[in-house]
Amino acid sequence: MTDIARIEAAAFRLAGHALRTPLLGSAFLNDIAGRRVWVKAECLQHTGSFKFRGGWSAVSALPPEVRARGVIAYSSGNHAQGVALAAQRHGVPCVIVMPFDAPRLKIANTRAYGAEVVLYDRARENRDAIGARIAAERGLTLIKPYDEPEVIAGQGTTGLEIAEQAAELGITQADVLVCCGGGGLTAGIALALESRAPGLRARPCEPEGFDDTARSLASGTVQRNAQATGSICDAIVTPVPGAITFPINQRLCGPGLVVSDDEALQAIALAFSRLKIVLEPGGAVALAAALFRPDQIAGDDVIAVASGGNIDADLFRTALDRFGA
């Protein structure tokens, strides 16, 4: 299980390897939201998303003789890059199973980080089965994207930093909005806040049509999404809450928030003009919720985790075309 001791152990292993990302703000965003908005800029993390934390945590936690045989992961792209770079820096082999329709940049980057990329069709194939088969054949250790205690612990280091940064700003009560796919980042942050900033509460944020975690929290039972594709928020399109992550999130999180793809694009354009950071749609839903769901949030401050920035230039141009100043 992941607990605060495991998160702090992950923080110790990550020190000097992961970036302590800044907490950004802008008076312009405060005006839109009607309260102070703080943005934890994990898009600036190595590989362009928080996933490097979990990848490094999991790879660095393996016994050396196990790690030396190599690792494997399946991912729409950000977990792929996080695990690939962590493996490369540890000097061990890495195979990544990716959907063939993942953003080009993510596939190219994963290869550039030294990983062998195996593409599959997410509408017809089961990535878990593919990953398990290759892992068995080659003796690789499978690093799951969220249902893995050391991955959750690594993502939870984001929460330790938020707790510290909020304390520096004098913020003792606030919702912490987290972009949520399988729920690993949400669970890790929720656990860290429980111990280190109990007045802060994690809340998952999802795109419309893929709000499995919000509906599961609301109903008290695990809900699946009706479809597997159809949002631009590729990084957080997962079919169902995680078996390990959901019980944590059910115990600790406030209600989920849901935004449209267009609202995510608008948040991307505002992050460009107001914060000078690059977000991908799945990394912008928490900021979108902070800006466009003010009536579902309480308090003078809200913290939004901007979880990733791996967006193709075409889609970024679209965001600026439609919502740029």
List interacting residues with a copy of itself (CB under 8 A).
16, 19-22, 24-25, 27-28, 41, 43-44, 46, 48, 85, 104-105, 108-109, 112-113, 168, 269, 272-273, 275-279, 309, 312-314, 316-317, 320-321, 324-325
CB-nearer residue toward a copy of itself: 41 or 152:
41
Strands (E), 87-246: 94-99, 116-120, 141-142, 174-179, 200-207
Q: How far apart are alpha carbons 285 and 292 in whole angstroms? A: 10
Q: At closest approach, how far in Å is the CB of 279 from a copy of itself? A: 8
Q: Are 15 and 146 in contact (CB under 8 A)?
A: no
Burial of 132 (0-12, 13-18, 19+ CB in 10 A): middle
- End-to-end distance of the chain based on CA atoms, in angstroms? 46
Q: At closest approach, how far in Å is the CB of 244 from a copy of itself? A: 29
CB-nearer residue toward a copy of itself: 157 or 245:
157
CB-nearer residue toward a copy of itself: 114 or 299:
114
Task: Name beta bridge partners: 204.
Answer: 178
CB-nearer residue toward a copy of itself: 279 or 288:
279
CB-nearer residue toward a copy of itself: 106 or 203:
106
Q: At closest approach, how far in Å is the CB of 44 from a copy of itself? A: 6
Q: At closest approach, how far in Å is the CB of 89 from a copy of itself? A: 10
Number of Cα atoms under 13 Å in the Cβ half of residue 282: 30
Strands (E), 3-43: 23-25, 36-41
Q: At closest approach, how far in Å is the CB of 317 from a copy of itself? A: 5
Q: At closest approach, how far in Å is the CB of 323 from a copy of itself? A: 9
Which H/E stretch holds residue 145? none
Q: Which residue has the tokens 């949400």?
A: 186
CB-nearer residue toward a copy of itself: 300 or 312:
312
Q: Are 165 and 200 in contact (CB under 8 A)?
A: no
